[in-house]
Amino acid sequence: MENALIVLYGLTMLYISATGRIKAHVKMLFFQGILLFLICYFSADKTNLVNFMFLTFETLVVKTFLIPLFLTKILNKNKIYRDSEPHIPNFYSLVIASIMLFGGFLISNIDYQAFDGINPIYFGVSISSIIISLYLITTRHKVLTNVIGFIMMENAIFLLSLSVAKEMPMIVNMGALLDIFIVVFILGLLINKINESFEDLSVYKLCDLKDCDCDD
């Protein structure tokens, strides 16, 4: 069951790399949140009730509902619907993401003895999801898609930490939450500011903000 959920998680990364609609990205974030919750539910140590409740809160409340809701609000407010011109067309992104996913599986199988006690499917999917998220951040233009890529990387790191240890220390959990909080906080400020100044959310506009212009 766990394995099926993890492969499904890998498939969401493929879908995200092939679609340009930002609403679909947000929906996939929601879906990933549910998947992470189910993976936690099946794999986490339920004897430590506090830790388990914290994991449930983090995955089900924060990752599944709060962040997607916040992103949807920003989408509606700024009326942005798609990342229309990625640097690399979506078809090639899908090809590259598939190869990355395959590469992740290969890495997790290269020296199986060295990864003793680690589920290779967990490891392969999470490593490749991190790399795919980094790739998506570099190829997409909009601030919002970059942030979505970052949150996906957070999700993948969460999955990776699950693969390494069945039970995560509370402090790591809180660190992950803090990261997300900062991302969302900065995103809120940045997007509203850029929108007021430029009426567009392309990160290219940031190139115009040069110091030397002030001298003129």
Partner 1 sequence: MLINLINILFLLILPFLFIGIINKTKAFWTGRKGPSVFQAFYDFIKLIKKDMVVSNVTSIVFSVAPAITFASILFAGLFVPLAANKSIINVEGSFILFAYILGLGKFFSLIGAMDTGSSFEGMGASREASFSTIVEPAFFVIMASIIALTGNYTFKSISLIIQKADGIGFLIIILAIISLFIMLLVEGCRVPVDDPDTHLELTMIHEVMVLDNSGFDLGLIFYGSAMKMVIISSLIANILMPVNLSFGTSIVLYLVIITILAIIIGTLESSIARLRMSHVFEFIFVMSSFSLIILSLTAITLYGN
Burial class (CB in 10 A: 0-12, 13-18, 19+), 117: exposed
In the complex, the smallest distance separating the C-beta of residue 181 from partner 1, rounded to whole angstroms, is 34
In the complex, the smallest distance separating the C-beta of residue 145 from partner 1, rounded to whole angstroms, is 17
| CB closer to partner 1 out of 7 and 61 | 7
Which residues lie near partner 1 (CB under 8 A)? 3-4, 7, 10-11, 14, 18, 89-91, 94-95, 97-99, 101-102, 105-106, 108-109, 112, 120-121, 124
Residue 41 in contact with residue 4, Cβ under 8 Å? no
- Number of Cβ within 10 Å of residue 136's Cβ equals 25
| CB closer to partner 1 out of 9 and 30 | 9
In the complex, the smallest distance separating the C-beta of residue 14 from partner 1, rounded to whole angstroms, is 5
In the complex, the smallest distance separating the C-beta of residue 191 from partner 1, rounded to whole angstroms, is 28
Q: How far apart are CA 191 and CA 186, in angstroms?
A: 8
Q: How far apart are CA 35 and CA 116, in angstroms?
A: 25
In the complex, the smallest distance separating the C-beta of residue 11 from partner 1, rounded to whole angstroms, is 8
| CB closer to partner 1 out of 67 and 162 | 162
In the complex, the smallest distance separating the C-beta of residue 105 from partner 1, rounded to whole angstroms, is 3
| CB closer to partner 1 out of 127 and 194 | 127
What b/e string do you get for 157-179 counting C-beta neighbours within 10 Å, with b at 16 or more?
Answer: bbbbebbeeeebeeeebeebbee
Between the alpha carbon of residue 173 and those of residues 42, 100, 139, 142, 158, the distances in Å are: 18, 27, 29, 28, 8
The alpha helices in 165-211, defined as continuous H runs, are 170-198
| CB closer to partner 1 out of 65 and 112 | 112
| CB closer to partner 1 out of 62 and 96 | 96
Q: How far apart are CA 27 and CA 160, in angstroms?
A: 22
